[in-house]
Structure 1
Amino acid sequence: MTFHFEVPQEKVPTLGERSFLQIGDKALALFNVAHQLYAIDDSCPHQGASLFGGRLAGKVIQCCAHGLRFDLASGCLLNSTQLKVASYPVTRVGEQVFIVMDAGERHE
């Protein structure tokens, strides 16, 4: 079963920007890259550092703590599939933006 979290309009990032979202006890980062929205967990899978403030180059986010770089679309560490940050599909319906999560991921 899936859950569609509606992103508040003021939290939808403009082109080239990002926003931080708290959904229950889950922290997410939402990025707008070339008018495409990407949602990932804000915690690096290596040691839990925040990815929200990382350096963004195209659709690649670099962790501030140790420099690991993750593809926003797949969540995978660049050049590897062994380490991955959770990523979530983002859909638009008119002006509304939704992050699609498994029902168990809401952590309410």
Structure 2
Amino acid sequence: MSFRIEIEPARLPAAGGHAWLRLEGWCIALFHADGRYYALDDSCPHQGASLAGGKVVDGKVQCPAHGLRFDLATGCLQNVPTVKVVTYPIHIEEGRVYLSLPGPESTT
């Protein structure tokens, strides 16, 4: 089960920009590219470098540490789709931007 969090307008990146968010204990890299918002886990699976400061080109973010490129929409590593970064759904309703995050698993 997941839950949604509204992202405050002041924390949203401008077109072509990026932001680092810490929400409910999650570290999120948020990008605004090609008119859409994309949210990814902020940790590169190679050695954990932050993706939030990576350069975005053609819908992919390049890890600033070692140059790996991840698709913003799918989280897949370019040319190696079995390696990926977790992506999180973004919803826009009535001009408000919401991020969906995994919820705690039920023990019942």
State whether TM-score is above 0.5.
yes
Is 1:103 aligned with 2:103? yes
Give 1:19 shift.
1.2
Task: Report percent identity of matched pairs.
Answer: 43
List per-residue Cα deviations over 1:6-44 (Å, max 9, x = no partner): 101101112111111101321101111111110001110
Is 1:9 aligned with 2:9? yes
List per-residue Cα deviations over 1:40-69 (Å, max 9, x = no partner): 011101110011111111310010111110
| Structure 1: runs of 5 or more not aligned | none
- Give every structure 1 segment of 4 or more consecutive aligned residues whose post-TM-superposition deviation is greater than 2 Å: none
Question: Using the alignment, how far apart are the partners of 1:66 and 1:25 within structure 2?
Answer: 26
Give the structure 1 partner of residue 38 of structure 2.
38
| Structure 2: runs of 5 or more not aligned | none
Report the aligned-residue RMSD. 1.3
Contact 2:18-2:53 within 8 A present in 1 as well: no
Question: Using the alignment, how far apart are the partners of 1:9 and 1:32 within structure 2?
Answer: 13
In the TM superposition, 1:1-108 aligns within 5 A as 1-104=1-104
CA gap of 1:81–1:104, structure 2 versus 1, over 3 A, is farther
Question: Using the alignment, how far apart are the partners of 1:79 and 1:38 within structure 2?
Answer: 20
Question: Using the alignment, how far apart are the partners of 1:64 and 1:19 within structure 2?
Answer: 15
Normalized against structure 1, the TM-score is what? Answer: 0.90
Which has the greater radius of gyration? Answer: 2
Give 1:91 shift.
0.6
